[in-house]
Structure 1
Amino acid sequence: MNMFSVSVSPISVGSNVFFALALFAISALVLLLLRRFLTLRATPAYLIVPIFLALALPASVVLLVPIDLASSSHDGTGPKAIWLPDRVVLVCWRIAYWLIFMLTWAILPLLGEYVDSGYREPKARIIYSLRMNARYQLIVLTCAVVGLVYVSISNGFHFSSLKGLVMALAYVWGLVLAIYLMGHGLVSIPRNLIRNANVSGRLRRVQAHAPKVHDRLMDAVNELESLNGQVAQLQQRKTGTARDFQEWIEDLSEGSGSADVRVPILEAPESSSTIPSVITERYLADLTRRLQRSRHMKARFVDEWDRLVQLAADLQAIINSAASKKLDFGPAPRRSSCFPRTKMLTPYMRYQVYSNVIPSVRMAFGAFFSVASVCIVWSELIKSVAPQLSIVSLTILPNYKEPKPLGFGKQLITSAWLLYMCSAALVGVNDVKVWGNRALVRRNTYGESACWYASLVARLTVPIAYNFLTFLPKDFRRETTFYEFLGRLINLTPLGHGFDFIFPIFILLPICATLFNLYGRIKKIFGFGLAEEDDIHDVENNPSGYGMGGWREGRDLIERELNGFGSLAVSSRGTRSTWAADRDDESDSRGSSRLRVPAAEGSRSPRTTQRPITAPTVIDGEEEEEENFFQSFAHRVRNTFETTNTPQWFQGEPFRLPRWMSGDNNTTTEEGGVTRLFGGRAVPGRLHL
């Protein structure tokens, strides 16, 4: 007995040390992630701690699954692996699962509404949070009652059935959401890598996306100014009910800060809402809530626009460096630069890295992740029919009939598969646009958005982990502690027994929707989109870039921004951007003619002004190479007619047809009644033959 304890103890101690160090590394990475999206000093502790746990615990699941697989098959004679005693693994699963359950279904939803309430007193915030979550909890309770009746009829009513019902309902909802988001991400990750390998194509997509971001930013700025105007009107009231909330109103006015440099360039928004004669606590709470959301909305789109402009400038610098074979991003990069400035590289080496090495690496990773996505989809489809052909299972357990204990290498492969599946689901969270106005902003994420994203991350991880176990042989996974803890209760009824095997086949729905742009078709039919794929297909469907919202308009907006003449004046600190200078140098060296249309001063308000004319403002060698002779001639003829003014003698009263041709006493040529001779209606420009 003593010899056995001496021989096993060093292995167990090493595994314990590794497990502790891994948890410490996960905690450090989560803190760095929180520091990127939140201001740790300004965020209260009651918000930081739950969000930290909601991110750290799911990350530990990725570590706990391979340890559980090795611990359940460890016999002391197999290959070396990281293993823990069964009791320790069970305690870890209980702590992780029930903490995640409480965070996702109770704590984080209540905290999100508590932060977003707008009230000043904690009691009023709690009441508002409970009232807003009452409908959600009522729906959950109704589903639980229906499920309890079903479980009681199938298996009898006792405590294990009740616990299994709670865990099964949480698993089903999480699996439905995880399969949809993971299916989208399995296509999006490799496709984005392959597409971004082409620098010019990536620049076109960035330019096509620029008008939408610019419009949203203008909306956010105007909305915030309108709300600040209401606060200013409240501040002017010194009598009546406003006097009772004077301190609250002063806090709102102080939170607005100094005037933004973007505001005077825009047209003053007309405030459609009027201040009520009786100021109540509910009205001020609603105004505070709208003001907080508007401020964070503005910060979100300012950050997104800043990064988009800098990315376009960097991509254009890479394209321009093809002639000189030297790449320089500029002496003073802004904080939103998407490419790191490495001083160790010479301009020539930097050009080789960003023009040849990085695109090749992107293509290689894109091909690798494409194969990984195909393997996961194949394993999902085949596991209920021929589980011995599951590729994911074969990479972990090559001998399907007699699975051997897992070694450290197989544990790394298991963690890699599980991490990729979770990453695909998180990419789907970022791409799919059905979450309202929630977003992650660097160092300025709204508290309610942070709670919601943390809750979603925690809710997806456990279902994905258990779905991953279904790839493995039945006898092997049933020996794991995770299956004894969760799987046994999920398979308590016949309905739950086949759900985790049959339902993942529906992963083909989001995959086909992403591959064949069903999101764009839905947007055209119903008027709303579901994913950020519209800009890509806009570039493919409209390669010339003409029209409202085309990439040429986005290019003009970015160029004016970099030159300091845009509506946001991002580069107003300098006299001229490196992008514009590079384009001038490039055109001068090639001797190509440049036809410039002066950029209009000021900006367009998305609701009060129209977009500027999106004719090609710069005609250089790059655009001439894209068009053949006939297309170039047609564009020039079109521009000639569109820019020609109507003569004075032709600006009088429009020509009218005789009464016998029009069929109406006051009908112009646009409404000619002669179409009735062909059996058609008086529709402009249409003949029915």
Structure 2
Amino acid sequence: MGTVSLVGQLFVVFLLTSYLLNKYSTIRKQNPIVTISTFIGWYFSLIIIFVLPLDVAITFFHKCETDRQRILNASLAGTPSPIIPECELPGGYVPDKVLFDLWRVVYWSAQMLTWLILPLLQSYVTAGNFTIFGKIRAAVINNALYYGIYSLCFLAILIYAMIKGVSINIENVKVILVSASNTWGLFLLVVLLGHGLVELPRSLWHHGNRHYRLRRTYFDIEKLASEKSEAEENVKEMYKRVRILFNSMKSDTNGQRRKVRTILSKFSDEIIDNLFPSRQVIDNANKEEDGGFCSEAKLISLHKKSIYAVQTLNNTTALWK
């Protein structure tokens, strides 16, 4: 019965995650890898909220059973003992092995997502390279500092463990990896919490001032409008540059025209219709710009800037709405 209840909770979490993902994202437009990674991250986070109370209740039940057995043993030995407690089995009780395996899957999946998949995926999506290998290489290079700091934490703990005489085996290395990730996570938590302890009370204090809130709202609207206008101009400029380059290429030399067409595909028809209502974009190419733009490095840089410009426009547009 408890297993059925747990499966029901997991199914409810699955439905809730699907609803939230469908509400706050465009599943049909985004990459399936992004959808799957986001779904797993949200699903496991909500599992903690739903299943943790059951785990706590089972833990208290086991503690009660242990205390009860200790009191019974003391009574059999002739030692005066208090009243023997009655332990009530919690609703939805499942064996410890089930929860242990569940938490193991949640923990290590979260570790893989946090330290490996999501950082690389984020850099992979914004990389300007045109091949899968090139995107992966760019993602690794962009996260070199991130992994470098984590590696330093790991090496420091590893050296400390070796000095203390801890044997280095698979289990101990696993513990060191967990310790390194927790150390880096706690460092970030302290930094962010230090800012929040100051900013949150100050924002709540200002929230009670109506005139301040009104002035702040005017400022935020003006700032957002300026950012949206700047993002639109940036996208217009990038699209014109890419269009000029595409029109200047009469032949697909070394696949250059195909790569430029890939860059053009980043600008959706919806964006083009909104920014260019008359559909009149520069068609005459300047031949002098051809040589400067056709190098592989220039195309990668142009591709990356185009992706960033479109993402910035989408973000500001979503905030404006």
Query: Shorter-chain TM-score: what band?
Result: 0.7 to 0.9
Residue in 1 that maps onto 2:313:
298
Matched letter for residue 214 of structure 1: A
1:36 counterpart = 2:47: no
Residue in 2 that maps onto 1:283:
298
- Within a 5 Å distance, the mapping from 1:52-451 to structure 2 comes to 52-74=39-61, 75=65, 77-78=87-88, 80-159=90-169, 160-182=171-193, 202-238=213-249, 244-256=255-267, 257=269, 258-261=272-275, 276-277=291-292, 279-306=294-321
Q: What CA distance in whole angstroms lies between the structure 2 residues aligned with 1:195 and 1:237?
A: 56
Q: What CA distance in whole angstroms lies between the structure 2 residues aligned with 1:67 and 1:180?
A: 32
Q: 1:176 to 1:29 in 2, by over 3 A?
A: farther
Matched letter for residue 88 of structure 1: V
Q: CA deviation at 1:228?
A: 1.4
Q: 1:47 aligns with which of 19, 29, 34?
A: 34
Q: 1:133 to 1:121 in 2, by over 3 A?
A: same
**Contact 1:144–1:169 under 8 Å retained in 2:** yes
Q: CA deviation at 1:92?
A: 1.4
**Contact 1:30–1:52 under 8 Å retained in 2:** yes
Q: CA deviation at 1:202?
A: 4.0
Matched letter for residue 317 of structure 2: V
- Within a 5 Å distance, the mapping from 1:539-578 to structure 2 comes to none
**Contact 1:67–1:82 under 8 Å retained in 2:** yes
Q: What CA distance in whole angstroms lies between the structure 1 residues aligned with 2:138 and 2:191?
A: 32
Q: What CA distance in whole angstroms lies between the structure 1 residues aligned with 2:138 and 2:93?
A: 47
Q: What CA distance in whole angstroms lies between the structure 1 residues aligned with 2:36 and 2:263?
A: 27
Matched letter for residue 298 of structure 1: L
Q: CA deviation at 1:167?
A: 0.9
Matched letter for residue 70 of structure 1: A
Matched letter for residue 46 of structure 1: I
Matched letter for residue 58 of structure 1: S
- Within a 5 Å distance, the mapping from 1:631-646 to structure 2 comes to none
TM-score by length of 1: 0.37
What is the identity percentage for the equivalent residue pairs of Structure 1 and Structure 2? 24
Q: What CA distance in whole angstroms lies between the structure 2 residues aligned with 1:288 and 1:278?
A: 11
**Contact 1:152–1:161 under 8 Å retained in 2:** no
- Within a 5 Å distance, the mapping from 1:631-670 to structure 2 comes to none
Q: 1:206 to 1:277 in 2, by over 3 A?
A: same
RMSD: 3.1
Q: CA deviation at 1:112?
A: 1.5
Q: Answer 1 or 2: which has greater helix percent.
A: 2
Q: CA deviation at 1:96?
A: 0.9
3-state DSSP of counterpart to 1:244: helix
Query: Mean alpha-carbon deviation: is it higher for 247-256 or for 104-113?
Result: 247-256
Q: What CA distance in whole angstroms lies between the structure 1 residues aligned with 2:135 and 2:129?
A: 6
Matched letter for residue 260 of structure 1: N
Matched letter for residue 120 of structure 1: F
Q: What CA distance in whole angstroms lies between the structure 1 residues aligned with 2:144 and 2:219?
A: 42
Query: Mean alpha-carbon deviation: is it higher for 189-198 or for 289-298?
Result: 189-198
Q: What CA distance in whole angstroms lies between the structure 2 residues aligned with 1:149 and 1:34?
A: 43
**Contact 1:144–1:166 under 8 Å retained in 2:** yes
Matched letter for residue 72 of structure 1: T
Deviations 1:621-644 (A, max 9, x none): xxxxxxxxxxxxxxxxxxxxxxxx
3-state DSSP of counterpart to 1:78: coil
Structure 2 gap ranges (5+): 66-85, 279-288
Q: What CA distance in whole angstroms lies between the structure 2 residues aligned with 1:218 and 1:147?
A: 49
Matched letter for residue 21 of structure 2: L
Deviations 1:552-572 (A, max 9, x none): xxxxxxxxxxxxxxxxxxxxx
**Contact 1:234–1:249 under 8 Å retained in 2:** yes
Deviations 1:145-202 (A, max 9, x none): 2210101222412333322211111112222323444565577678767866777764
Q: What CA distance in whole angstroms lies between the structure 2 residues aligned with 1:182 and 1:83?
A: 36
Deviations 1:285-338 (A, max 9, x none): 2211211111121121122223xxxxxxxxxxxxxxxxxxxxxxxxxxxxxxxx
Q: 1:188 to 1:66 in 2, by over 3 A?
A: farther
Q: What CA distance in whole angstroms lies between the structure 2 residues aligned with 1:193 and 1:25?
A: 35
Q: What CA distance in whole angstroms lies between the structure 2 residues aligned with 1:215 and 1:243?
A: 41
Matched letter for residue 87 of structure 2: T
Q: What CA distance in whole angstroms lies between the structure 2 residues aligned with 1:92 and 1:300?
A: 36
Matched letter for residue 29 of structure 1: L
Q: What CA distance in whole angstroms lies between the structure 1 residues aligned with 2:122 and 2:316?
A: 21
Matched letter for residue 27 of structure 2: L
Matched letter for residue 136 of structure 1: Y
Q: What CA distance in whole angstroms lies between the structure 1 residues aligned with 2:231 and 2:253?
A: 27
Q: What CA distance in whole angstroms lies between the structure 2 residues aligned with 1:28 and 1:183?
A: 36
**Contact 2:58–2:93 under 8 Å retained in 1:** yes
Residue in 2 that maps onto 1:483:
none
- Equivalenced residue count is 284
Deviations 1:323-380 (A, max 9, x none): xxxxxxxxxxxxxxxxxxxxxxxxxxxxxxxxxxxxxxxxxxxxxxxxxxxxxxxxxx
Q: 1:29 to 1:105 in 2, by over 3 A?
A: same
Q: What CA distance in whole angstroms lies between the structure 2 residues aligned with 1:21 and 1:186?
A: 39
Residue in 2 that maps onto 1:407:
none
Q: What CA distance in whole angstroms lies between the structure 2 residues aligned with 1:185 and 1:299?
A: 28
Q: 1:22 to 1:181 in 2, by over 3 A?
A: farther
Q: CA deviation at 1:44?
A: 2.8
Q: What CA distance in whole angstroms lies between the structure 2 residues aligned with 1:60 and 1:39?
A: 23
Deviations 1:210-240 (A, max 9, x none): 2211221222122112211211220231358
